Amino acid sequence: MLRSGRLVIVAILVLGVAAGAFAVWYQQQQSRQALRFWGTEGASLIARAPHVEAVWLELAGKQAADCDDSLEVPGGTACVRQRQDVDRTPGISNLRRALMQDATFQWSAEPPEGADWEFALRFFDEGQSTVLLFDLARGACAEASTSRSVVLDPAATKDLSDFFAEQFGGE
């Protein structure tokens, strides 16, 4: 009887380790393209940076010299209309997780040309930062320091629209 009890305990431990390994593998498979797109440093900041800032950008029209506050975007500089700390905002953890999931993006779709970056999320910690830009009208997302962009899934576009509307008063 004592021997069969030990076998049951060992079997449960082996099953637990196997389930844990499967969970890690499965999670990695769910975010392979997103990790490759954001890069190691960018992905780490998106997932874990203690400071997150939502930024409402001025659509094309103003020159950077006319701005009190600006943000570098592919192809130039955008004026900042408003910034909002969202470190502790309800839903930010879900948003971070979604940005790291392949299902949030339409990887096979061609990103639109000439995006009008209306919103941004800035993830930063101790001198490191990554800025994600969003053109929600066209469903596009980009990392500000590169010219690469990707198409958002329609459900993700709606969720991001709702998030930014909550941060900036639904304007």
Dihedral sign computed on CA atoms, order 169, 78, 45, 102: positive
- Please state, for a pLDDT cut of 70, what percent of the chain lies above it: 87
In sequence order, which residues have a C-beta less than 8 Å from that of residue 144 and are 6 or more positions away? 71, 72, 73, 74, 120, 130, 131, 132, 133
- Whose structure tokens read 């995006």? 115
Which pLDDT score is estimated for 114? 81
Q: What local confidence, expressed as pLDDT, does residue 141 receive?
A: 95
Q: Which two tokens stand for residue 145?
A: 């320091």
Distance, C-alpha 125 to centroid of its chain:
15
Closest CA to 64 of 81, 82, 76: 76
**Beta-carbon contacts of residue 19 (< 8 Å; ≥ 6 apart):** none
Residue 163: both structure tokens together: 């998030």
pLDDT band at 22 (very low <50, low <70, confident <90, very high): low
Q: Model confidence over 145-158: pLDDT tens digits? A: 887 899 999 999 99
Average pLDDT over residues 97-103: 94
User: Mind listing the pLDDT tens digit for each residue in 156-166?
Assistant: 999 999 999 99
Domains in the chain, ordered, with CATH?
31-167 (3.30.1490)
Q: Are 143 and 131 in contact (CB under 8 A)?
A: yes
